[in-house]
Amino acid sequence: MHKLARLDKKYVWHPFTQMRDWAKRESIVLARGKGAVLEDVHEKKFLDANASIWTNLHGHNHPKLNAALQRQLKKVAHTSALGFANEPAALLAERLVKSAKGSLKKVFFSDDGSTALEVALKMSYEFTRRTGRSRAPKFLSLAGAYHGDTVGAVSVGHIDLFHKAYGGLLFKSDKVMAPYCYRCPFNRAKPERADARVTRKCNWECVGKVEAKLKPRKYAAFVVEPRVQGAAGMIAHPEGWLKRVGEAVRASGAQLIADEVMTGFGRTGTKFACQKEKVSPDFLCVAKGLTGGYLPMAATLTTQAVFDEFLGEYDEFKTFFHGHSYTGNQLGSAAALASLDILQSADSKKKRRTLEKLLRDELQALWSLASVGDVRQEGLVAGVELVADWRTRKAFPLKAQVGIRVCEAMARRGVLTRPIGNVIPLLPPYCTTSAQLRKMVRVLREAITEELGGAPV
């Protein structure tokens, strides 16, 4: 075993990992990266097929990002936003507001996706109380919702496996049906497999459920990942759901918190997923790709109205009492500015479009495998749901570790991604070449066949 793997096993406690299994398995120690390729300490190369847990946009070791960081390093790495302004954070705030368009005018920086959500939840809660809409406002979010691991973010999450144990620590929030077409109890709008095609028309029952929940007007906000729910299993929402739900939220007087931690910065095709359906949220939470996947940094964008509710005389203490040590970090902001430059270039836009189409075409080859139940794609986010029986959509039991086994078989063939239960995500960095993308999908197909037989049907 490599000495670094030994050190890691001795000292590091890994996130979302059964450490007993980790101790038994040989770990991959990553040392270098270039573009969509990562290299381990043995110089074995891997394709980064989930963009290092959905963070990386333009590839590793990008010359423009590296140069931006080096320029910033010559000035200063970090100064506190508690009491002081700085150049890259001010420029970045302006860029974010201009990119978000609509009514989002103010930017509150923090460290990661979870904190971006905490900020939005606290602001929305206090805004709702101060404006007199409710004294004890609640939050509504989707079944399967995942918005981070801090206690507030977990409170609006609805994945029992992760969240149930901490029930006693959390505030109560309500849950409503997600538009998960593949497992919709009302109709069979999916999958696209010829013999299981739409048998009944979709009547937007899922939107009706949201409307019914919103009726009593007790919510501060509806929290949602627009267009695709990531950790719920890469659940791509049907076209039109977001628009309808956005209107219902607006009509109820509640606010809309868009969690674009995964979907932001071109992942779904538009700069922000909300823009695809022309929905303007009251809060836009971004992190992961904000710095191009280089540094932990997040932002919560909000409206002038929310900002104004926190204005007052000093001794009215209307201040938003919240802040993290690294808020507005200068290095992170410099990386984010460089990343936005690349993202907005014509070359990057063209590459993303080409890649999205190629991914769509390549994924078609998976439908013929017996253990592939659904193949979902939204922009450059794809999820392949593996099932024990595609005819009945019966799920594999989690303890069979089907997703883990398939991803390990992929890693052996030089492609890295991380399963979500029985769903295999593919989120290629935007710099991925056609040959690399084809390899990602081919290796996924081989790994499914190796682990699950996969007799074509």
Distance between CA atoms of 420 and 426, rounded to whole angstroms?
11
Q: Which is nearer to ligand PMP, 52 or 371 (CB)?
A: 52
Tell me if 114 contacts ligand PMP by CB under 6 A.
yes
Q: Which is nearer to ligand PMP, 170 or 358 (CB)?
A: 170
DSSP letter (8 states) at residue 249: H
Q: Which is nearer to ligand PMP, 271 or 445 (CB)?
A: 271
Q: What secondary structure, in 3-state letters, does 204-219 show? A: CHHHHHHHHHHCCCCE
Tell me if 231 contacts ligand PMP by CB under 6 A.
yes
Binding mask 63-102 for ligand PMP (x = CB under 6 A): ----------------------------------------
Tell me if 261 contacts ligand PMP by CB under 6 A.
yes
Q: Which is nearer to ligand PMP, 7 or 12 (CB)?
A: 12
Q: For the chain, how far is it from start to end, CA to CA, in angstroms? A: 41
Q: With beta carbons less than 8 A apart as the criterion, state whether 150 and 115 touch.
A: yes
DSSP letter (8 states) at residue 265: T
- Rg over alpha carbons for the chain, rounded to the nearest Å, is 22
> Sign of torsion, CA 393 397 398 404?
negative
Q: Which is nearer to ligand PMP, 50 or 371 (CB)?
A: 50
Tell me if 366 contacts ligand PMP by CB under 6 A.
no
Q: Which is nearer to ligand PMP, 223 or 437 (CB)?
A: 223
Tell me how many residues contact ligand PMP (CB under 6 A).
Answer: 14
Q: Which is nearer to ligand PMP, 146 or 390 (CB)?
A: 146
- Block residue for tokens 């705030």: 93
| Smallest gap from residue 418 Cβ to ligand PMP (A) | 10
**b/e map of 75-97 (b: 16 or more CB within 10 Å)?**
eeeeeebeeeebebbeebbebbb
378 membership: H or E segment, kind and range: strand 372-378
Q: Which is nearer to ligand PMP, 371 or 377 (CB)?
A: 377
Within residues 135-164, the interface with ligand PMP by CB under 6 A covers 146-148
**b/e map of 150-183 (b: 16 or more CB within 10 Å)?**
eebbbbbbbbeeebeeeeeebeebeebbbbbbbb
Tell me if 380 contacts ligand PMP by CB under 6 A.
no
Stretch that binds ligand PMP, among 19-27, 118-126, 225-233, 275-283 (CB under 6 A): 225-233
Quick one: tokens of 113? 């996706």
Tell me if 259 contacts ligand PMP by CB under 6 A.
yes
Stretch that binds ligand PMP, among 77-85, 99-107, 257-265, 345-353 (CB under 6 A): 257-265
Angstrom CA distances, 350 to 58, 276, 343, 357, stand at 13, 17, 10, 11
Site for ligand PMP (CB under 6 A): which residue of 88, 152, 230, 264?
Answer: 230
CA 82 from chain centre, in angstroms, equals 28
Binding mask 280-309 for ligand PMP (x = CB under 6 A): -------x----------------------
What count of other Cβ atoms lies within 10 Å of the Cβ of residue 4? Answer: 14
Stretch that binds ligand PMP, among 3-11, 18-26, 83-91, 223-231 (CB under 6 A): 223-231
* Binding region for ligand PMP (CB under 6 A): 112-114, 117, 146-148, 225, 230-231, 259, 261-262, 287
